[in-house]
Amino acid sequence: MDDKNILQHLLDLEKQAAALVDEAQAEADRRMSEGEKKYRIRCDEFYTRELEALEKSYAENNTAVKESYQKQLEEYRESLKTQAANPANSACSVNPVYRADQKAFNALAEKYLIGTGSLSREN
């Protein structure tokens, strides 16, 4: 009879150990879940802050680029108006290199496009 009691006692201890292991696993799963939730919340907050900062920076840079573009466009338009009002001061009459380039371009265009060059239909 002692053997039966000993075996029963050992089985009871094994059940208690299994229950203890199950409780420990449940506690570990709960802690892991809580830790993961906290980590996700921290990551979401971090990414939200970073996204807001990047969006703000983008908006500021975009505004600056648009303002610069508008300024350059207005300057260009004013220079065109000035050249149209006074053609003697245009880039063609002031810059001799530009005039030489223009003459060379016109000669090549006449040679190849009008028909005296190697790309014409006559050759």
pLDDT tens track for 90-115: 555 556 666 777 888 888 888 888 76
At 93 the pLDDT is 55
Phi (first) and psi of residue 120, to 5 degrees: -75, 165
Global confidence as pTM = 0.44
pLDDT score at 105: 84
Percent of residues, the chain, with pLDDT higher than 90: 57
How many angstroms separate the Cα of 6 from the Cα of each of 9, 12, 30, 81? 5, 10, 36, 110
pLDDT for residue 21: 96
* Tens-place pLDDT, residues 72-93: 999 999 988 888 777 665 555 5
Q: Strand, coil or helix: what is 117? A: coil
Domain ranges, ordered by start, for the chain:
2-85, 91-123
Q: How many angstroms separate the first and last alpha carbons of the chain?
A: 123
